[in-house]
Structure 1
């Protein structure tokens, strides 16, 4: 085989570390970005929190990454800084988005905790019940029985093992009546209804804790103990036939039952609380909607001028190289944050411009909009729009919404126009809330009403939207009315 040299020209997309950092910061939520900033403050000595006086000098735009002119001219004119950092940091890409926004990680022991996470008490339902058991005066044998019963209670608060199996696992000298007595004692613990073996027993335990003079308590107990299945089916005619109760008695008794908790364990949750912090706000100023970023959620950063001035030109010592590298990383990090905020501002402003009807009238005026609409207006790639709208929230007069909420598919209208699926959901919700409880609107009737409004939609689509909003079917929404 003969050895030869060949010249080949090709194009290859290379993601520099700076571009990777910009893409990663762009898709982070405000809480994740705050943690990323804190981590960079720990790792990079050239970064520091900007002082309040510097904020006032920087003005409303607040660009803390600009160092003092003299320091930059003196320290960064060496041969190592001939390749200047570009003014515009690219954040747009034309390849498949392989970076997914990470979930908010839990803080380690070395990280800084906020006040709530340090001083809040998180415990499971079993811990809460054991705490009450330890405060209850009882014999050691009953305490042992109570521990076995609590171990058999699931996170919903229901007893998952028959009481006979719990009794068989204990000592032979313990009677079944003792186990049942301890179970009744635990069923009086907080939360009300805990330790029940069935839904009917759970609701009955809660009703027994009401005062005896509670209105319609007797009727509610009868419905729970003997006719709970009919209550769930909303078959009020059968309930009236079996109980001989009047319509008012049945309605008030069911209202009392609905105030109970079917899963008492849900009130004792050890899930961490997640707060939604808006990344931008929109307000109306002189009949124009104005978007502003929420600067309060992002700490203001600047370059440590003391360390920056220690950099010497044409000095390749280890300490000088360390400072140069970290100064470059600090400048790229600040530039990436600035580019992230600029892209977020552009996307939020474009969304507000296209959804002014929503800001004025609510979801019923939502316009159909997809990622390509924003991408074409801003001359960005759809993956960038998807990245910048994930876990980013906008504070509007209608409430706080994720930016992805404003994107929805379209449905054709009779006039040849388009209607947003979000607007259709709002219209359906408004129709159902105004319906006659004794004769609720069926999916076919809802479809006909939408068609009368010029919205062409199929019945199965109406059913899908209704189920997506958590609204039951017409038969389950029906309320008994003898006049209907």
Structure 2
């Protein structure tokens, strides 16, 4: 065969640098986007941040936050007091009294009241570690230097919850033999720690932790029974086997109820308040308010970066007869970034307003009114691709009178109803939460009974689906919800 040249025409898609930047900015969270913009500001002298209150210059490119321009007239008017704020959904902010039996955790979109007195405790926990707190108390004692050293050694062995997870025998083996330390000395040092604050610190088991706290409250009613239960029958109490507890302890309902309340009031993790918890900060991209009787979304000004072209460098480049290739490229890059940032927030606003229009009953009545919604539905309404809607709703947050929610929160699966319609999974979870909150503690509802009650309301949900939704809400099963 002889070598030959052939011409072939073909079509293919190519992502321009501008389009790649636009897609990248769209899928970033607000914090990540701010970090990316800071990088551009450091690398590109043609780009600068617009100072608040500074008047623009001739020829400079300035952009206002999208959608806010059309909302300025409405935002200048103060909404009626009844429309500005709404009550939180039922159950938000409640404390799980059974914290000592499970690690239940709940999600709440609403923040804590700024006037809450517990903020002072949070500040203390954030600035003082458990070891520092115990070390300060050790410094107030009259112990010998040898005993102080042993107490410090045990303090370092405590975990974040305040427990001594390793046995004294194992800790003794780690000490140098030349110190000639005996096991009895470690036991004495541990007893010193267990007399420190917070009460229950230095325990080796949850039962010992609760016992230490009960011994400090001996003058309270039913404390003797509570000590017996903690020492011998803690598993029965955790399993809510009250009938067997009464039989083994010989107590009546009232005494057992008082002992149960006393045990529940104890803290099984005394060292946890001193743990360093990493805070996760969220800047909402969109704010939703009810203005003139309509739920309206607009871009959060704090989330929108105001950028412009640097006037000095732009004028220098314009006066040059022969353009500087590097500066010209940087000018084009700055223009692309400003345009893509504006396009990002334009798209976020369009998608958010479409979500608000579809879920307006949620803003009026709460989770029970959430309607089924999928990405395809919003994509068809706005004429966007489903992947674009997915990027917009990922790691983007909406501030509402009911709390702060990720945009993906408003999408979910659905369950069929008897009438041929559909009910969202979020609404079903809210109904399950309401049913369990209103149940009789002596005869809690089983998953089958909840399924039957929902069926009577026209919502067809299998028992296994109810169990799945209940577990997602961190609600214990029926046997663990039984009370006296």
Q: TM-score range, shorter-chain basis?
A: 0.7 to 0.9
Q: Which residue, out of 447, 450, 453, partners 1:446?
A: 450
Structure 1 unaligned regions, length at least 5: 66-118
1:50 and 1:64 in contact (8 A); partners too = no
Q: Which residue of 2 aligns with 1:194?
A: 201
TM-aligned CA deviation for residue 400 of structure 1? 1.4
Are residues 1:364 and 2:343 paired?
Answer: no
Are residues 1:173 and 2:180 paired?
Answer: yes
Aligned partners of 1:469 and 1:370: how far apart in 2? 22
1:148 and 1:166 in contact (8 A); partners too = no
- What does 1:8-407 align with in structure 2 at a 5 Å threshold? 8-54=8-54, 63=63, 125-126=130-131, 129=134, 133=138, 137-170=142-175, 171=177, 173-210=180-217, 212-312=218-318, 315-316=321-322, 320-407=324-411
Aligned partners of 1:406 and 1:57: how far apart in 2? 42
What are the superposed Cα offsets for residues 283-319 of structure 1, whole Å, 9 maximum, x if unpaired?
A: 11222111111012333222211121110466557xx
Q: Which runs of 4+ in 1 moved over 4 A?
A: 54-58, 119-137, 313-317
Aligned to 2:277, the other structure's residue is in SS state: coil
Aligned to 1:309, the other structure's residue is in SS state: helix
TM-aligned CA deviation for residue 421 of structure 1? 0.8
TM-aligned CA deviation for residue 55 of structure 1? 6.9
Moved more, 169-178 or 396-405: 169-178
Aligned length: 421
Aligned partners of 1:28 and 1:268: how far apart in 2? 33
1:64 and 1:301 in contact (8 A); partners too = no
TM-aligned CA deviation for residue 165 of structure 1? 2.3
1:47 and 1:330 in contact (8 A); partners too = yes
Residues 1:256 and 1:42: Cα distance change in structure 2 (over 3 Å) = farther
Are residues 1:415 and 2:419 paired?
Answer: yes
Aligned to 2:163, the other structure's residue is in SS state: coil
Aligned partners of 2:392 and 2:196: how far apart in 1? 48
Aligned partners of 1:201 and 1:233: how far apart in 2? 19
2:226 and 2:262 in contact (8 A); partners too = yes
Aligned partners of 1:479 and 1:200: how far apart in 2? 21
TM-aligned CA deviation for residue 195 of structure 1? 2.0
Aligned to 2:289, the other structure's residue is in SS state: strand
Moved more, 132-141 or 357-366: 132-141
1:146 and 1:186 in contact (8 A); partners too = yes
TM-aligned CA deviation for residue 123 of structure 1? 7.3
2:298 and 2:349 in contact (8 A); partners too = yes
Aligned partners of 1:456 and 1:334: how far apart in 2? 50
Aligned partners of 2:64 and 2:421: how far apart in 1? 48
Aligned partners of 1:229 and 1:64: how far apart in 2? 62
2:125 and 2:276 in contact (8 A); partners too = no
TM-score, L = length of structure 2: 0.80
Q: Which residue of 2 aligns with 1:427?
A: 431
